[in-house]
Amino acid sequence: MIPPLLIGNWKSNTTYTEAEALVDASITAKKAAGESVWVGVTPPFPWLKALRAKIDAQGADGTQLWMGAQTCSATDAGAYTGEVTAAMLAECVTFVLVGHSERRAYYGETDDVVRAKVSRVLEQDLHPVLCVGEVLEQREAGEAEAVVKSQLLAALEGFPEDRLYRLVVAYEPVWAIGTGVAATAEDAEDMCAFIRGVLDERFGDSSSIIIQYGGSANEKNAAELLAKPHVGGLLIGGASLKAEAFAAMIAAAARVQGA
């Protein structure tokens, strides 16, 4: 059975000193949880290399704290001022968030761009964490499942089936991100189950793919969310910037696993 995967998305937050403290706390919490939970963090770009070295300096002690990037370029090396390519990131990360709702909304990332980024991430043998989800208007119009299915199939067009073990899907109900209003555990379970069905239909067997819930998850609702059979992890925003809250969520995941 695949352990639940908890990822802290730090977004545009932290000084380097704050980032170091969060990594230290995450390593401590991961050690306490053991192998029953997988844990990753996505610091801002400037901190990645140094934090990677900090984690590596811990040695082979079983922490297995994954380092991730919050996005990458859809391009390869070249005259693309300001872009950070997946090849650059491959030296210090294990996974890359792709198609996060904020990237789609604020930076105009289309399905074509998201698909190109998934491809770039795979080229570097990294794990793409593909984010999909609907806005409030789409949900109220009864279009949530159609929107999520469209985003999934567009992003995964041509995805090599022998690389499925590298794919993570994160369901983001956009109306529940940064609002403090989380979808209910039942809402999360229903959509994650729907996503599993779409993936099974697309690939035949999607059991190697982790499906996360991401939308105002915190230390108060983590256990309830993770107890649902189709919720295989959490993509965590604000709560991951609070060391005690993130540690509590990791501990909750371990308890749900019976660790």
Which pLDDT score is estimated for 182? 65
Sequential DSSP letters for the chain: -PPPEEEEE--S---HHHHHHHHHHHHHHHHHHGGG-EEEEE--GGGHHHHHHHHHTT-SSS--EEEEES---SS-SSS-TT---HHHHTTT-SEEEES-HHHHHHH---HHHHHHHHHHHHHTTPEEEEEE---HHHHHTT-HHHHHHHHHHHHTTT--GGGGGG-EEEE--GGGSSSS-PPPHHHHHHHHHHHHHHHHHHHS--TTSEEEE-SS--TTTHHHHHTSTT--EEEESGGGGSHHHHHHHHHHHHHHTT-
Q: What's the confidence (pLDDT) of residue 192? A: 98
Q: Residue 175's pLDDT band (boundaries 50, 70, 90)?
A: confident
Average pLDDT of the residues in 134-139: 90
More confident residue, 62 or 164: 164
Domains of the chain: 5-13+20-256 (3.20.20.70)
Higher pLDDT, 64 or 6: 6
> What's the mean pLDDT in 171-194?
86
- Going by pLDDT thresholds of 50, 70 and 90, the confidence category of residue 215 is confident
Mean model confidence pLDDT for the chain: 94
Is residue 172 annotated as part of the catalytic site, yes or no?
A: yes
**pLDDT surpassing 90 at residue 243:** yes
Residue 132 has pLDDT above 90, yes or no: yes
- The pLDDT of 7-24, averaged and rounded, is 98
Residue 58: its pLDDT value, please? 79
Mean pLDDT of 155-170: 96
Tell whether pTM > 0.85.
yes
Over 60: is that where the pLDDT of 259 sits? no
The predicted pLDDT at position 223 comes to 97
Mean pLDDT along residues 119-123: 97
The per-residue pLDDT for range 245-257, each reduced to its tens digit, is: 999 999 999 999 9
What is the average per-residue pLDDT within 152-163? 95
> Which residue is catalytic, options 100, 127, 219, 224?
100
Q: What pLDDT was estimated at residue 93?
A: 97
Q: Quick check: is 157 catalytic?
A: no
Query: How does pLDDT run across 72-105, given as a tens digit for each residue?
Result: 999 999 999 999 999 999 999 999 999 999 999 9
Which of 102, 172, 219, 224 is flagged as catalytic? 172
**pLDDT level of residue 136 (50, 70, 90 thresholds):** confident
